[in-house]
């Protein structure tokens, strides 16, 4: 698939690049996308939830009522789970929600996500650029020139460009990351994927192994 290369003013430079069919032209696999997105979201969970169990509640261990004949549930001390203020039974404990996903599955998921973006004509290739200083208005101008303002935009760069990152961080629905760090969730969550020329080469090197 051939795509025109634009400059940061939104003008066609006359150059063309070919999107690698092995990455942007495969038949997307919805199930592996589901697995990869699930893994990403699970890894974002803090997992710090905790409730006190019976042994962790402060209170006397004296048995409050006799075992039988009271007409109610059996209970022992004031910390019993059947009483208000007692310990919780099988309550949440701190845990890590991350789960393993095979490398080939993650690679296929990323390629499937990129292929969806290519099918939707939602991949824009721009010339390599950097801002002279961190200015939000430069990032806003970039979005306006490319006619993607107001959309969820993911900008992939070949390396960390501090001025570009600082210029974009105050703009809602605009995220900047390196091409090597692209993941299925970020690609699928964006409406438009903007890639620089060098970043596109890095995507080929990283994902076409």
Mean of the per-residue pLDDT values for the chain?
93
Q: How far apart are CA 115 and CA 174, in angstroms?
A: 21
Residue 16 region, left (φ>0) first, then alpha (ψ -120 to 50), else beta?
beta
pLDDT digits (tens, 9 = 90+) for 40-77: 999 999 999 999 999 999 999 999 989 999 888 888 99
* Cβ–Cβ < 8 Å for 48, 95: no
Is domain 2-28+101-207 given the CATH code 3.30.479.30 in the classification?
Answer: no
Give 80's pLDDT tier (boundaries 50, 70, 90).
very high
How many CB atoms sit inside 10 A of residue 97's CB?
13
Segment holding 124, helix H or strand E: strand 123-126
pLDDT digits (tens, 9 = 90+) for 91-134: 999 999 999 999 999 999 999 999 999 999 999 999 999 999 99
Question: Residue 151 contacts by C-beta under 8 Å, 6 or more apart in sequence?
Answer: 173, 191, 192
């Amino acid at each position: 698939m051939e795509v025109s290369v634009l400059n940061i003013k939104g003008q066609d430079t006359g150059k063309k690049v070919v999107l690698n069919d092995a990455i942007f032209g495969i038949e997307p696999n919805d199930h592996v996308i589901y697995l990869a997105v699930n893994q990403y979201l699970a890894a974002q969970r803090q997992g710090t939830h905790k409730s006190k169990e019976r042994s962790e509640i402060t209170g006397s261990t004296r048995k409050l009522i006799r075992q039988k004949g009271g007409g109610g549930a059996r209970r022992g001390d004031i910390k019993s789970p059947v009483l208000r203020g007692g310990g919780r039974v099988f309550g949440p404990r701190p845990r890590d929600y991350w789960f393993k996903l095979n490398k080939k599955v993650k690679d296929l998921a990323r390629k499937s996500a990129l292929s969806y973006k290519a099918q939707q004509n939602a991949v824009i290739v721009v010339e390599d650029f950097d801002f002279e200083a961190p200015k939000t208005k430069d990032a806003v101008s970039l979005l306006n020139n490319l006619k993607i303002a107001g959309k969820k935009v993911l900008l992939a760069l070949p390396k960390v460009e501090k001025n570009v990152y600082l210029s974009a961080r105050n703009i809602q629905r605009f995220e900047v990351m390196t091409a090597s760090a692209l993941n299925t969730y970020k690609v699928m969550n964006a409406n438009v994927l903007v890639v620089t020329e060098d970043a596109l080469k890095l995507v080929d090197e990283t994902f076409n192994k």
